[in-house]
């Protein structure tokens, strides 16, 4: 046991980062092979999308009980179970004979992945001393920030060169290696038998399962069924809100709560979690919006749009490692504010793109964004846990991940809906310009009709000219919606800066 304590913290970090990288990449890597999965099983896009959402739901449900499981069996044993369950789910994904079994396999894989990220954060906070907290969070950011960015590139490469099954096959050897590393380098922390006999909070668990399950269904199907115009979505929303309120009240009053929700009484943890959630909004919203912009307005292929996003993953990885070291020499709040300002500037640059933009003009703001993300992420995450009792790190890490998971899921769904709805608003205003009384439109219409007349008769040429200009109007309306989305994200970067100023940079409270 004494030898285990002397293990280099960087070796321990590698041991816990590998399964974390694997678990997060398994989510985003599946996004790019969704059409292949749909075609393989003869399913629709909405049916195949359940393969992604089922993984997110099941993983999110495990977050609140991570603290309980750590108190019951310890971090090392929970790592074992999580990795093996993840591996079993990957094997089942490969062997699934139909889409229904694939969804079941993804649920099992998601249950295995759910506890891994907060466990990784809790172990890193434990093995690194307080003066190297920024380094620890920089390493944690490699898993939390880099792997979702690298996942689509890896998934696309495996799918294009081999098959979609390889997205799951690759998880098997990585799971084996992760298990060996955890066994060798992470110290055993199994609690005494009398301490491990803790009553399981069944009411709290059921309430959070219902809440998160309903929330994911609402976010997944809302746009398809026109949100609150559909009765069953209204009912699910009410059930979701009620279940979250019940979970919060119950956890405050129950003597053996599922998770210690009182950690939010710590000002640093509360404000730090809010700011971290906003960082996730910027990162994942742009991760959705930029490829959508590149494909729908610039006309690039999915593989090319994925390649255009890859430089930001590389820059984010380098930034996370570099800022982890730099954070020891700079005041944390100042570093976080600089990061947020860089993010705001980079997203504002994205709002200046148009339909004639080159791929380089898309890549450069993304690179700048992923300089700002680690610059803000590392000090914010370190400050979030700065004043907490180390004994509460497991509960705090689980709540931190859960809160960010919920906010990110909502933001991703809202971003897609924002583009669809706001483009309709702009379309309503722009369509008034398509009138014969507008001399500019009339001149364009006549010029287009003259060009089409070379190949078609007069009647067909007139229809095609009108249709061509109408499509241009739709494209302009969609472009305006992207402008608005990027401007809103820019404003959010500025709004959260006062919360950063309120964070306390003092020494951690004693246990």
CA angle 180, 319, 166 (to 5 degrees): 45
Q: What are the phi and psi torsion angles at 111 (to 5°)?
A: -60, -40
Return the ∠ at Cα 385 (arms to 506 and 284), rounded to 5°. Answer: 125
Give the number of other Cβ atoms within 10 Å of residue 333's Cβ: 18
Q: CA geometry: angle at 229 spanning 228 and 232, to 5°?
A: 70
Burial of 487 (0-12, 13-18, 19+ CB in 10 A): middle
Cβ pair 337, 499 in contact under 8 A: no
Q: What is the pLDDT of residue 306?
A: 66
Give the C-alpha separation, 136 to 316, whole Å. 16
Q: What is the pLDDT of residue 441?
A: 67
Contact 33, 157 (CB under 8 A): no
Task: With beta carbons less than 8 A apart as the criterion, state whether 348 and 491 touch.
Answer: no
Q: Which residues of the chain have pLDDT under 70?
A: 1-7, 45-46, 133-134, 191-198, 301-303, 305-306, 433-438, 441-442, 444-446, 448-449, 459, 466-467, 469, 506-511
pTM equals 0.73
Count Cβ neighbours within 10 Å for each residue of 446-464 and write b for 16 or more, e otherwise: eebbeebeeeeeeeebbeb
What domains appear along the chain, each with residue ranges and CATH number?
2-423+483-501 (1.20.1250.20)
Location of structure tokens 């969609």: 478
Write down the pLDDT at residue 46: 64
Residue 189's alpha-carbon distances to 72, 74, 114, 348, 386, in angstroms, are 10, 5, 20, 47, 23
* Token reading at 155: 């998934």
**Phi–psi pair at 220, nearest 5 degrees:** -75, -40
CA distance 229 to 219: 14
pLDDT of residue 294: 80
- 3-state SS of 53-92 is HHHHHHHHHHHHHHHHHHHHHCHHHHHHHHHHHHHHHHHH
Burial class (CB within 10 angstroms; exposed 0-12, middle 13-18, buried 19+) of 219: buried
């Amino acid at each position: 046991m004494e030898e285990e304590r002397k293990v280099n913290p960087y070796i321990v970090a590698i041991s816990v980062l590998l399964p974390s990288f694997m678990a997060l990449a398994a989510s985003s890597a599946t996004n790019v092979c969704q059409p292949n999965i749909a075609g393989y099983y003869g399913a629709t896009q909405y049916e195949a999308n359940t393969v992604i959402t089922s993984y997110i739901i099941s993983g999110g449900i495990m977050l609140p009980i991570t603290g309980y499981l750590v108190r019951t069996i310890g971090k090392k044993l929970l790592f074992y179970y999580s990795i093996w369950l993840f591996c079993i789910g990957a094997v089942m994904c490969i062997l699934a004979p139909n889409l229904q079994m694939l969804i079941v396999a993804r649920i099992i894989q998601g249950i295995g992945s759910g506890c891994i990220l907060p466990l990784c954060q809790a172990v890193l906070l434990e093995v690194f001393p307080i003066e190297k907290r920024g380094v620890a969070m920089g390493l944690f950011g490699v898993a939390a920030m880099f792997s979702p960015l690298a996942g689509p590139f890896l998934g696309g490469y495996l799918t294009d060169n081999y098959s979609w099954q390889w997205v799951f096959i690759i998880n098997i050897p990585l799971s084996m290696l992760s298990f060996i590393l955890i066994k060798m380098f992470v110290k055993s922390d199994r609690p005494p038998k009398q301490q491990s006999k803790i009553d399981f909070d069944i009411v709290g668990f059921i309430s959070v399962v219902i809440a998160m399950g309903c929330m994911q269904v609402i976010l997944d199907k809302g746009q398809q069924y026109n949100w609150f115009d559909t009765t069953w979505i209204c009912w699910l929303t009410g059930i979701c809100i009620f279940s979250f309120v019940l979970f919060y009240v119950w956890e405050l009053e129950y003597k053996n709560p599922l998770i210690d929700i009182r950690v939010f009484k710590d000002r640093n943890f509360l404000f730090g979690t809010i700011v971290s959630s906003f960082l996730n909004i910027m990162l994942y919203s742009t991760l959705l919006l930029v490829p959508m912009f590149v494909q729908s307005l610039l006309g690039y292929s999915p593989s090319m749009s994925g390649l255009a996003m890859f430089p930001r993953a590389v820059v984010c990885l380098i930034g996370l490692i570099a800022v982890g070291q730099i954070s020891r020499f700079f005041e944390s709040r100042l570093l976080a504010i600089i990061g947020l300002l860089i993010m705001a500037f980079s997203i504002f640059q994205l709002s200046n793109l148009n339909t004639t933009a080159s791929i380089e003009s898309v890549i450069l703001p993304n690179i700048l964004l992923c300089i700002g993300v680690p610059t803000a992420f590392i000090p914010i995450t370190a400050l979030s846990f700065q004043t907490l009792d180390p004994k509460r790190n497991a509960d705090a890490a689980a709540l931190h991940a859960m809160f960010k998971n919920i906010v990110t899921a909502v933001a991703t769904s809202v971003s897609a809906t924002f583009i669809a709805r706001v483009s309709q608003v702009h379309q309503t205003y722009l369509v008034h310009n398509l009138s014969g009384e507008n001399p500019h439109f009339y001149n364009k219409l006549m010029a287009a009709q003259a060009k089409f007349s070379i190949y078609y008769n007069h009647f067909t040429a007139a229809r095609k000219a009108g249709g061509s200009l109408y499509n241009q109007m739709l494209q302009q309306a969609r472009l305006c919606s992207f402008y608005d989305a990027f401007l809103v994200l820019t404003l959010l970067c500025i709004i959260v800066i006062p919360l950063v100023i309120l964070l306390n940079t003092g020494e951690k409270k004693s246990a």
